[in-house]
Amino acid sequence: MITELSISDLGVIERATLEFSPGFTAVTGETGAGKTMVITALELIRGARADQGAVRAGAAAATAEARFEVEPDGSVAEAIDEAGGELDGTELIVARRVGADGRSRAFAGGRSVPAGVLAELGHRLVAIHGQSEQLRLASSASQRDLLDRYIGDDATRLLSEYSDVFSRRNESRRRLAELTADRAARSAEAAALRQALDEIAAIAPNAEEDRELDQRIAVLSHGEDLRLAAAEAAAALISEDSDTVPSDAIGLVEIARKALERAAAVDESIAGLAASLAEARYALEDVNTELTRYLDSFDAGGPGELEAALERRAQLRELARRYGPTLADVINYDAAGVARLLELDTDDETIDALTEEVSALDAQLAAAAERLTNVRAEGAQRFGEAVTHELAALAMPGARIHIDITPLDEFTATGADRVEILLSAHSGADPRPLGKGASGGELSRIMLAIEVVGAHAGDVPTYIFDEVDAGVGGAAAIEIGRRLAVLARHSQVIVVTHLAQVAAFADSQLRVRKDADGGYTSSSVTALGDDERASELARMLSGLDESETGLAHARELLDLARAASASNTLN
């Protein structure tokens, strides 16, 4: 619940602090004193759009700060933790600052937060029934929510079951639609992939094959020059003429080696040189062997090999152009294409399976929607009768509430029903939608009746009513006060009212008073004791706070309310 509201420089309120207790609190005061600013401050706390026009003239900014008692392990505490804020024990501080330049800042749990966070928190902490809520009450979605909240656990459970099936069915339908809509494109993709994979398989490239081919083609293209060079080198290494003095490298090295070996017999210091020459001869013989093989390769390959290599390179380059740009890319494309083709080839099976799945989920959804419709229809009858009974005591004795449930053309996230609350304003009148058949004051009383009827299922700890007593007086006003007191048994109730008959049923009363100091006007808020309450109620009744007749009537009202509460006859 809310325990304190501090306001500064908002409208006519320069600075005020309102302390709230559990139960029913009435906020009263003369017209223009600033009672509306209390509602405005609470709307700001709930994340409403900031209006720079509400900033007090001459002030830099208006501020509203509220303190709430919350469950330390509840949803509000969880939301604060997610926003980076924290509670002070069980206390949550929420604040809003609106500058004269229109800029706004919001704070929750000691942290600066977006106004949207306040909106999320505010609707869990406070329900404000004023003009904006009257507009909300006229919407079908809000009326459906009110009915579901009244029904309670059965509606909550069935709606949860329905929502689960609805989500799964929509996801399956989305996947099926994607596959079906893309079937032609996927078929074309599969055909193109098969052609590409066949082309790649026919050539069967290796990752480094293009580099090896370039080198081989370069060799074959200069084959005669390379063969002559190799032959010349081989002839220089060894001569086939053994009858003459050797002129080849191997023969000359061998002559030198033998000469050094003869000399080494006399001078051992040159024996190592002879050994080096022997190694040189072996190395030259190895080179000669490789040259022989190299020459043989020209004889084996010939012109046909060059032509084949050129053709192979052309094939590889075409693959790289189409699926590359490198052979490595071509090979990767081949591997990925195989996996993708397998996926595409299973589309028909997937479509068949999804079609069956969607059909089954459609049937489940229809059954879940029917169960939800049935429980709503049964609850609607009770809900309408209960609200009608409450309206009879709220100056609407001939009014009747009808809950009309009609099927929708399609399933929605909240069922297959359109829920509409209709009002017969008087006996014999045709039922009409609330937005067309009820005035603002009647909407406020209907909202009060709904909250009283649904108090057992209420999930908001604090209800605030503005102008709930518009257009009524006398005994009807007493009944409004009585109903607000009933609601206050289950939740904290704060009411801005101009009727003494309503305020008399409050557990506590705050008075907003306008003060003037020369040309400077401001408002202050005071908590009233018993005598002060009687004086304020007298003012509200007669306009004279010291009138003996008015005071007597005020005390009579207070006694009536206290007696009703003490004897438990509020209902």
293 assigned to some structural domain: yes
By the 8 A CB rule, do 327 and 210 touch? Answer: yes
- Return the biggest CA–CA distance within the chain: 159
Let me know the angle formed at the C-alpha of 506 by 503 and 507, rounded to the nearest 5 degrees. Answer: 150
Q: Among 8-17, 337-346, 501-510, which stretch is predicted with the lowest mean pLDDT?
A: 337-346
CA distance 136 to 116: 19
pLDDT tens for each residue of 34-72: 788 888 888 888 888 878 888 888 889 999 999 999 888
Q: What span, in angstroms and rounded, lies between the C-alpha atoms of 523 and 513?
A: 5
Tokens (6 digits) for 299:
């004889």
- Residue 92: name the closest of 54, 128, 126 by CA: 126
Q: Once rounded to an integer, what is the mean pLDDT over residues 514-541?
A: 78
Q: Could you tell me if 535 and 546 are in contact, meaning their C-beta atoms sit under 8 angstroms apart?
A: yes
> What gap in Å lies between CA 58 and CA 68, rounded to an integer?
30
Domain-located, residue 327: yes
- DSSP states of 390-407: HHHTTT-TT-EEEEEEEE
Helical segments of 401-529, H only: 434-437, 440-453, 474-487, 500-503
End-to-end Cα spacing for the chain: 24
Q: Which helix (H) or strand (E) holds 361?
A: helix 347-392
Say if 67 falls within a structural domain. Answer: no
Mean pLDDT of the 63-86 span? 87
pLDDT above 80 for 274: yes
Q: Is the pLDDT of residue 571 over 60?
A: no
Q: Which residue has the tokens 């939800």?
A: 372
Rounded Cα distance between 14 and 31, Å, is 17
* Contact present, 457 and 150 (Cβ < 8 Å): yes
Are 5 and 66 contacting, i.e. CB atoms less than 8 angstroms apart? yes
**pLDDT class of 440 with cuts at 50, 70, 90:** low
Residue 458: pLDDT above 60? no
Work out the average pLDDT over 198-221.
Answer: 80
Residue 358 scores a pLDDT above 90: yes
What whole-number distance in Å separates Cα of residue 503 and Cα of residue 26? 5
Residue 544 lies in a domain: no
Asked if pLDDT for residue 175 goes beyond 80, the answer is yes
Task: Specify if 164 maps to a domain.
Answer: no
For residue 457, pLDDT over 70 is answered with no
Six-digit token string for 125: 């902490």
pLDDT of amino acid 550: 81
- Band the pLDDT of 24: cuts 50, 70, 90: very high
Q: For position 360, what pLDDT does the model report?
A: 95
How large is the average pLDDT for residues 494-520? 82
- Out of 13-22, 153-162, 189-198, 214-223, give the one with best mean pLDDT: 153-162
Give the alpha-carbon dihedral of 446, 159, 78, 129, to 10 degrees. Answer: -10
Distance CA 566, CA 364 (A): 53
Asked if residue 306 is part of any domain, the answer here is yes
Contact 99, 60 (CB under 8 A): yes
Radius of gyration of the CA atoms of the chain, in A: 48
Count of domains in the chain? 1
Q: Please report, for the chain, how many H helices and E strands are present, in that order.
A: 19, 15
Residue 288, domain member (yes or no): yes
3-state helix/strand/coil string of 363-390:
HHHHHHHHHHHHHHHHHHHHHHHHHHHH
Q: What percent of the chain is predicted at pLDDT more than 70?
A: 90
Structural domain range at position 249: 184-345
Does residue 172 register a pLDDT over 90?
yes
Kindly indicate the confidence band of residue 169, based on its pLDDT and cuts at 50, 70 and 90: very high
Q: Residue 154 — very low, low, confident or very high, per pLDDT cuts 50/70/90?
A: very high
In a domain, 215, yes or no: yes
Nearest to 133 by CA among 352, 393, 445: 445
Residue 344 in this model has a pLDDT that exceeds 90: no
Inter-residue contact 558 to 504 (CB < 8 Å) = yes
CA 256 to chain centroid:
92
Overall average pLDDT of the 10-23 stretch:
87
pLDDT at 515: 73
Side chain identity, residue 568: N
Question: Which pLDDT belongs to residue 165?
Answer: 96
Per-residue pLDDT for 235 more than 60? Answer: yes
